[in-house]
Structure 1
Amino acid sequence: MSLKCYYDLMSQPSRAVYIFLKANKIPFEEKPIALRKGEHLTEEYKKINPLQKVPVIDDNGFILSESVAILKYLSLKFDIGDNWYPKNDLKRQARVDEYLNWQHINTRLNAAMIFQHLLLIPRMTGKPVQEKQMARFKKGLIESVGHIDKYFLGSQPFLCGDKISVADLLGACELMQLHGVHEESFYTNNPVVKAWIERVRNRLAPHFDDAHKIIFRTRDVYPALKAKM
């Protein structure tokens, strides 16, 4: 098998790439990398990806990091639906790119930082949650969810039109991270965004839930972990 995918399903972008491969029946060799064990910091992994991040793909010697680049590459290489990253419609492609460029310092930044500040950082440092920083990221996330609702979705079922795209996959995986720390109300309180998440989840069943099992487990143990912080 020529395509290898290195991932950790605790990572939102890793889940997006993993789900994409599974949903589109693209054969690949699974290469799980446990971030919690520091497997991304080993010299062996550094030879694969000097940036020491996940996800990464190795397509018969062509190594590519960064989830957005990976998803675009896979969409264009394999014979799958044109909805994921439109090849022949410049305007539809531009709409997908619009969200992909916007999300880095909006959906991704704010949702990821809330998760990290509530769980990862306190566990690693032994310090309490930094409420001032949390307030900033929460404010940013409220704004981001509002933009997803009013600007990207509006009256259409998916972020970039009437069909699912890689933008929906990345956006949904970022917001689902909040589920692990009981902060999903940021999107469930918005009926438009909540319905969109469920639409994406149903469209990608069963792979979406399979990839999020680690987030569901994190949610179960989070209250006990929080009590120890």
Structure 2
Amino acid sequence: METIIKVNQLCKSYGTIKAVENINITVCRGEVFGLLGANGAGKSTAIECILGTKKQDSGTVSILGFNPQRDRKKLFEKVGVQFQEANYQDKITVAELCRVTQSLYQTPSDYEDLLKQFALWDKAKSQVSELSGGQKQSLFIVLALIPNPEAVFLDELTTGLDARARRDVWKYLSDLKAKGLTILLTSHFMDEVEALCDKIMILKSGKSIFYGTVREAIEASPYKKFEDTYLWYTDEEGKENESI
């Protein structure tokens, strides 16, 4: 299978804190990869280094064959990104933000179709600031998909969504995956990880403590449910480094 995301021996420190230490990830086309861990485990730093928005201390990263730092303009057309916390102009409407985003790409998806798919079409004329938390989260996913990307990075993608909306998002992403979209996501919802992810990595204190499938993680633990398994691996990580 074609490798879309390749991370080799990635390291990043902040002073004496090793935020990410020797991380290795391979994600093939059409796969969903889950990067998991408690707050402070290093997920945010790892994703920022993979995307090239933060420079790693050592190691290499390739997305679609490109170096994220050196080839950012080329990657811009091919990668979608949704961050959990994003800020936009107070007075901009949903439709205006989508049109602006669409204008940045050569072959974008139809944002109107995406708004309908994510139950936001009736909010097209509303200001982004007026949306509920769940609606904003859905909008951020729409914005990540507007580029019609080959790979998309989703950070806590269904936080704030109700159960029905979450499952609708899962269904839509599963359909895109079947068409070849590659997805790297973070999530604190273990049912979401079970439903979507082909492979996962569990981070603890910046190190990978598990890499493989959800089933393999369960089989290597004393538990039968993945949520219990995850808690066993992470062992209630402390919160002293939540920002990394």
Check whether TM > 0.5.
Answer: no
Query: Greater relative contact order (Cα 8 A, min sep 6): structure 1 or 2?
Result: 2
Taking structure 2 as the reference length, the TM-score comes to 0.33
Taking structure 1 as the reference length, the TM-score comes to 0.35
